[in-house]
Amino acid sequence: MRRNPRELELLHRRTGRRALLVGGLQLAFAGALVLRMRYLQIEQADQYRLLAEENRINIRLIPPTRGRIYDRNGVILAQNRQSYRIVIVQEDAGDVEKVIENLGRLIPLDPENIESALDEMHRSAPFLPVTLVDQVAWNDMARVAANAPALPGITPEVGLTRFYPQREVFAHVVGYVGPVSDYDLSRLEEPDQVLRIPRFQIGKSGVEARREDLLRGKAGARRVEVNATGRVMRELDRQEGTPGADLQLTVDTDLQAYILDRVKGESASVVVVDCETGDLRAVASSPSFDPNLFVRGISVADYRALMDDPYRPLAAKSVQGTYPPGSTFKMIVALAALEAGVITPEDTTFCPGYLDVANRRFNCWKRSGHGRVDLLKSLEQSCDVYYYSVALKIGIEKITEMARRLGLGYKYDLPLSGIAHGNTPTKEWKKKNYNQEWLIGDTVNSAIGQGFVLASPVQLAVMTARLATGRAVTPRLIKSINGIEQPDGAGDPLGLNENDLRVVRRGMFQVSNSRRGTAFRSRIAEKTLLMAGKTGTSQVRNISAAERASGVIRNEDLPWERRDHALFVCYAPFEAPRYAVSVVVEHGGGGSTAAAPVARDVILQALYDGTPPLEAYPERDRPRIKAQQERLSRERARRDAGKRDRA
């Protein structure tokens, strides 16, 4: 069909407009594309170059070296030592199970560790190393290295791990480290990225945990070139981190080790405080445990054995345990009454062996009574009735006020785990916690350190140091940080009447040095080092009226867990106090028989800075003390030999 010329002209005109429109659109698109390319390649070149570099270069953290911990004499308590381990790279090994089987023919393998390693391999990239065996002996390392051609993918490595050379001696003080857990990370709002390094160790208890901020240090970094799959091709740059701070503690290794040997076989705690500085020379809890067991994860069997022990070796009894202070609380009641002016040292009370208060009979520990006693005799012979009477005159509020001035009911700022607050009760406290009114019987019970009154061994040691000095002595555990001395705990004067303090101190002196004193058998014979102290016995069971009438069952005839706690506090020398000591023997029976001998031996060990001469002991005790010293010397020699063998 032929088109007329007019239709052809119209068609050509319409086609030309469309071509121009399409061409214009194409030109505009090309122009926009050119402009965009110019923008990306020239104006944004630096930004995209950086992004490309980040895809090619990774930053890897370098774990910092953990700070060391020393005792006051420079003895190492926590250190880092080389640790050998065997790792496997899955893709290099090929048949992983076959390689592990061959490895097992060379060195012993723990099935649990191997199973854990296989699980980790399934979660990790095939080119990442996974630890098969940790803390490998040098002989085993050499055996693996010699057979390397037959063990594809297996590599022996050297790293650092925490080690506690004193083992159980400072387990409750220094604590221990362990691998970072999900629970550890959940407690932190913004966890440090170094905590995500596999098998990185942090403090779990004791100084290791409480001063993690100082001991950990700051991580370093290395820049590495990686390929598209994330494999490291080469290291480009390295910046070492900042090592953790070295800490020097106030404790004395020899004294602490002696204490643990001395109370071996008991569930006990002993605290020694320097009266001049507040330094904690010893903070011992028995029995103890080897913290090295926890560093790489304790076995189920070992952990169950520690948990099932009725003597609770994992508990830091010296700071975590709280006990009725018993008669060691009587100095507080006496001072409160003297300061309030409700008694004088010469005032006397008649003790028939009991006191009837509000239709209830409160008994003295001595069934026949002490007769007429004044303040000095009440402390010397620990008469309960005297303090029942005094407490009724003064009331619980003033007793509690004095207890707090002397350091009870206070949570000290020490870098230790689970420090107990103790309890110094008031009427308001009972109403708040029990929704009950305070009873007169509560005051009478508190007068002899029973009822609601609770104190920890470290609080009792501080109380004794404050009584000895008249100053607000505060316990100190960290002596220096990276060699920089920390403030001591000498404290300011308490503002107590010096004459009142002299009377109470004299009563404590007679406890240890008067023939009728409750701790006379545990006195110090050296005249320049005479000791002042106070016995205490705290009940853990109720004694019925029927049992009292027929005769109270002796502690040795009761099951261990129902026996009384034995306590003793002391300081020496009497004229110029250097050390204050508190001893608590759980279910030990009487303070005079179970705790006082330990305290006497410990304070002499501290005063002589080593084994005391036999002349420091009463003559009748010297054969027994000599045998004891020889036994403890042999035990220490065996322990030191064991340390050398394990090292």
Within-domain flag for 642? no
Q: Which of 327, 417, 512, 522 is catalytic?
A: 327
**Are 148 and 174 found together in one domain?**
yes
**Are 386 and 515 found together in one domain?**
yes
Q: Give the per-residue pLDDT at 152.
A: 85
At 32, is the secondary structure helix, strand, or coil?
Answer: helix
pLDDT < 70: residue spans in the chain: 1-19, 39-41, 43-61, 124-125, 127-128, 197-199, 224-235, 544-550, 642-647
How far, in Å, CA of 485 to CA of 244, rounded? 17
How far, in Å, CA of 73 to CA of 308, rounded? 36
**Are 366 and 395 found together in one domain?**
yes
Within-domain flag for 502? yes
**Are 370 and 268 found together in one domain?**
yes
**Are 465 and 345 found together in one domain?**
yes
**Are 230 and 278 found together in one domain?**
no
**Are 235 and 343 found together in one domain?**
no
Q: Where are the beta strands (DSSP E) in 247-353?
A: 247-249, 268-274, 280-286, 349-351
pLDDT digits (tens, 9 = 90+) for 161-210: 899 999 999 999 999 998 887 788 777 777 777 777 666 788 999 999 99
**Are 358 and 498 found together in one domain?**
yes
Within-domain flag for 538? yes
**Are 229 and 169 found together in one domain?**
yes
Q: Give the per-residue pLDDT at 448.
A: 96
φ/ψ region of 113 (left if φ > 0, alpha if ψ in -120 to 50, else beta) reads alpha
Neighbours of 122 (CB within 10 A): 8
**Are 70 and 86 found together in one domain?**
yes
For the chain, the domain total comes to 2
- Which of 223, 249, 275 is the C-terminal boundary of a domain? 249
Within-domain flag for 525? yes
**Are 555 and 614 found together in one domain?**
yes
Told to judge if 368 belongs to the known catalytic residues of this protein, a careful annotator would answer no
Within-domain flag for 54? no
Neighbours of 226 (CB within 10 A): 15
Q: For the domain that residue 583 is a member of, what is the CATH number? A: 3.40.710.10
Residue 27 neighbours by CB under 8 Å, 6+ apart: none
**Are 203 and 346 found together in one domain?**
no
Nearest to 143 by CA among 158, 156, 129, 157: 156
Q: Where are the beta strands (DSSP E) in 4-116?
A: 57-62, 69-70, 76-89
Q: For the domain that residue 160 is a member of, what is the CATH number? A: 3.90.1310.10
The pair of structure tokens assigned to 344 is 């004088």
Nearest to 121 by CA among 150, 97, 140: 97
Give this prediction's pTM: 0.84
Within-domain flag for 394? yes
How far, in Å, CA of 450 to CA of 377, rounded? 21
Q: Residue 338: give the domain boundaries.
A: 255-618
Within-domain flag for 191? yes
Within-domain flag for 43? no
Q: For 201, list phi and psi in degrees, rounded to 5.
A: -105, 140
